[in-house]
Structure 1
């Protein structure tokens, strides 16, 4: 499949997401007029009708839908009635924090998960294998918000090693590296929380893939040639065991973004998750639609990047692309 076809499919998928999101918000109880009236302390029927006419809410569903899609295509996501700010501006303010959290957690989960899986596969009957299995089961079974609350209580309240909430400390003074270290200090617990469930998945998958590859004929041939276990593992086995992990990482990126919403709520991380929660409570429809659109866009881009990475590390994918 060429890159152009992938882009076409991505555009079709994104359009479908736009239609689905708008439809759900449109047919849900209440609308923007109710939100504005609530912020005004109430409004009579005539005022409510005027608000609906002003914002096009009196138009048929398909007219509103096509108008919304047209605005999105022109990068206009509307105006937040709760924050009194353009939605695009709000999202671009919060998006870097969410991406920083999600990408860091994803990279940590993949790297540590693969390392644990490889080590476990190299010692299938050792104690490390049982440790990885128990760790994976615990990490996969524990809800991400529950893990976050435990870490928060343990390492912020009982043992005050890390900050309780936020992304940075406004009292910290210094240059770029000082502020970067402060942000990294605040990231430790949220990243560990978000990466825990996915680390368990990747460790189990990489272990299973490595066990299958290590039993292959070409691995036995490599050992017969006198190559060390390190060379066999890193140069031959690991390269062929990585594609399933990379594929799963791409497919799970949407789950990472979803998990970030819960983690941000637990740790008051100033990202899209916090913005989404506040907007839902305030019934700020334009902001909710904008966040859903950007979340879908990030996931689709993540899947495209996964396809490109697979083409680089797996010659079989290049041959069928």
Structure 2
């Protein structure tokens, strides 16, 4: 690692400190401004909403403290890696997040991998055979991906492949009473449950990668070094892969970093439709239960996950193009 790249990484890490603090402050403020709290939910479920009972609940869950006191206490707990306690689940928030982060990461990484590999491949073919019938077909597919709502795609896939054809399960991560995930049969069962939600989430982003890759390659095709490579007698396939695609990948890497936040947001919808036991489903349940501690923990962890994924993409971008690190160090 050269000095300029090391300086660039150190500088980016220091820039994360105010970003993380701002995320905590904004998330805390928005959740405090939202109407209702855990005491309202518990009192409603018990059918007893007397002023005395409500005051007792708010005192029990520290909901009667000033907002500044709660915020300072929360910051102090964060310094000890304590995200608080979920009274609804009767567990520490950190333990709940650890239990759910695996399925969410599995869904996100599978979806983004499918979208990147298939999208870049179709984008290369579309640029390579520009104006052909293949190019028109790929452009039509990408347009459909932009125009179709993600939740609608998920519902259609459930109706076709789960209800009508009965090929794939429609919900959950594993079957009730099925084999353990540690066995080969369990892994196969997990993959069967993963196909529909991952394909649904990947379909929209696949369309974006097709458009970006096609545009980037067509732009590189017009540069001088490509004409030079052709003049040397290199085949069109080698020119496309070795020269054009390599330089067109930089916008794709940048796009991946920008899509991570929306990908995590989209997983909330997908996890709800397919009953996938991830962070999105956990946050969805916490909203209805007014579980503020759990919501804070999920939002904070999700934000940090996106921030550090973007940091990784920036570092990868600097490695692919050393001029970035030298310019910003």
Pairwise same-fold verdict (TM > 0.5): yes
Do 2:27 and 2:296's aligned partners in 1 also have CA atoms closer than 8 Å?
A: yes
What pairs with 1:130-279 in structure 2 (closer than 5 Å)?
A: 130-173=136-179, 176-279=183-286
Tell me how far apart the structure 2 counterparts of residues 318 and 235 of structure 1 sit (CA, whole Å). Answer: 24
Which deviates more from structure 2 when the two are superposed, residues 277-286 or residues 36-45?
36-45
Do 1:105 and 1:194's aligned partners in 2 also have CA atoms closer than 8 Å?
A: yes
Which deviates more from structure 2 when the two are superposed, residues 84-93 or residues 24-33?
24-33
Residue 43 (structure 1) shift: 4.5
Tell me how far apart the structure 1 counterparts of residues 323 and 230 of structure 2 sit (CA, whole Å). Answer: 24
Tell me how far apart the structure 2 counterparts of residues 34 and 173 of structure 1 sit (CA, whole Å). Answer: 41
Structure 2 counterpart of 1:117: 123
Do 1:239 and 1:313's aligned partners in 2 also have CA atoms closer than 8 Å?
A: no
Tell me how far apart the structure 2 counterparts of residues 212 and 260 of structure 1 sit (CA, whole Å). Answer: 33
Structure 1 counterpart of 2:40: 34
- Corresponding residue to 1:300 among 287, 302, 307: 307
Q: Deviations over 1:17-66 (max 9, x none)?
A: 11111111112112233234345442432333233334433332222112
Contiguous gaps of at least 5 residues in structure 2? 1-6
Structure 2 counterpart of 1:107: 113
- Corresponding residue to 1:24 among 27, 30, 55: 30
Structure 2 counterpart of 1:281: 288
Tell me how far apart the structure 2 counterparts of residues 242 and 20 of structure 1 sit (CA, whole Å). Answer: 35
Q: TM-score, normalised by structure 1?
A: 0.95
Tell me how far apart the structure 2 counterparts of residues 149 and 306 of structure 1 sit (CA, whole Å). Answer: 32
What pairs with 1:82-97 in structure 2 (closer than 5 Å)?
A: 82-97=88-103
1:50 and 2:42 are equivalent in the alignment? no
Tell me how far apart the structure 2 counterparts of residues 200 and 167 of structure 1 sit (CA, whole Å). Answer: 26
Which deviates more from structure 2 when the two are superposed, residues 170-179 or residues 96-105?
170-179
* Helix, strand or coil at the partner of 2:245: helix
Question: What is the total number of aligned residue pairs between the two structures?
Answer: 321
Tell me how far apart the structure 2 counterparts of residues 55 and 172 of structure 1 sit (CA, whole Å). Answer: 39
Which deviates more from structure 2 when the two are superposed, residues 260-269 or residues 226-235?
226-235
